[in-house]
Amino acid sequence: MALTTGIVGLPNVGKSTLFNAITQAGAESANYPFCTIDPNVGVVDVPDERLHRLAAMIQPQRVVPASFQFVDIAGLVKGASKGEGLGNKFLSHIREVDAIIHVVRCFEDENITHVAGQVDPASDIETINLELVLADLETVEKRIDRVQRQKKSGDKQAIAEYEVLVRLQAVLAEGRPARAAGLDQEEKHIIKSLNLLTMKNVLYAANVSEEEMARADKNPYVQTVKRIAAGEGAGVVTISAQVEAEIAELEGEERELFLQELGLETSGLDRLISAAYGLLGLITYFTAGEKEVRAWTIREGTKAPQAAGVIHSDFERGFIRAEVVGYDDLIACGSLGAAREKGLLRLEGKDYIVNDGDIMNFRFAV
Question: How far are the Cα atoms of 35, 58, 95, 196, 229 from residue 103, in angstroms, in the given order?
Answer: 16, 40, 17, 20, 12
State the pLDDT at residue 1: 57
**pLDDT-based confidence at 36, cuts 50/70/90?**
very low
Domain boundary assignment for the chain:
4-279, 301-364
Task: Let me know: does 72 contact 27? Beta carbons within 8 Å.
Answer: yes
- The radius of gyration of the chain from alpha carbons, rounded to an integer in Å, stands at 23
**pLDDT-based confidence at 156, cuts 50/70/90?**
confident
Q: Is the pLDDT reported for residue 121 higher than 90?
A: yes
Distance CA 87, CA 321 (A): 49
pLDDT, tens digit, for every residue of 199-228?
Answer: 998 999 999 988 887 777 889 999 999 999
- The whole-chain average pLDDT of the chain stands at 85
State the pLDDT at residue 113: 63
pLDDT, tens digit, for every residue of 237-249?
Answer: 999 888 888 887 8
Annotation: binding site for ATP? 12-17
Question: Is 323 or 93 the better-scoring residue by pLDDT?
Answer: 323
Parallel, antiparallel or unpaired: strands 292-299 and 282-288: antiparallel
**pLDDT-based confidence at 31, cuts 50/70/90?**
very low
Q: Is the pLDDT reported for residue 71 higher than 80?
A: yes
Residue count (the chain): 366
pTM: 0.80
User: Tell me, what amino acid is at 348?
Assistant: E
Question: How far are the Cα atoms of 157, 160, 167, 168, 183 from residue 150, in angstroms, in the given order?
Answer: 9, 11, 18, 19, 22
Distance CA 94, CA 326 (A): 37
State the pLDDT at residue 170: 96
Q: Which residues contact 311 (CB under 8 A, 6 or more apart)?
A: 287, 296, 362
State the pLDDT at residue 13: 85
- Return the C-alpha torsion angle 12, 28, 278, 76, nearest 10: 40
Torsion over CA: 302, 305, 306, 310 (sign): positive
Of the candidate CATH numbers 3.10.20.30, 1.10.1060.10, 3.20.20.70, 3.40.50.300, the domain formed by 301-364 belongs to: 3.10.20.30
State the pLDDT at residue 81: 47
Q: Is the pLDDT reported for residue 30 higher than 60?
A: no
**pLDDT-based confidence at 254, cuts 50/70/90?**
confident
pLDDT, tens digit, for every residue of 262-320?
Answer: 777 778 888 888 888 888 889 999 999 999 999 999 999 999 999 999 999 999 999 99
Annotation: binding site? 12-17
Distance CA 276, CA 70 (A): 10
What number is the average pLDDT over the span 41-55?
89
Query: What architecture is the 4-279 domain classified under in CATH?
Result: 3-Layer(aba) Sandwich (3.40)
Question: Is 108 or 171 the better-scoring residue by pLDDT?
Answer: 171
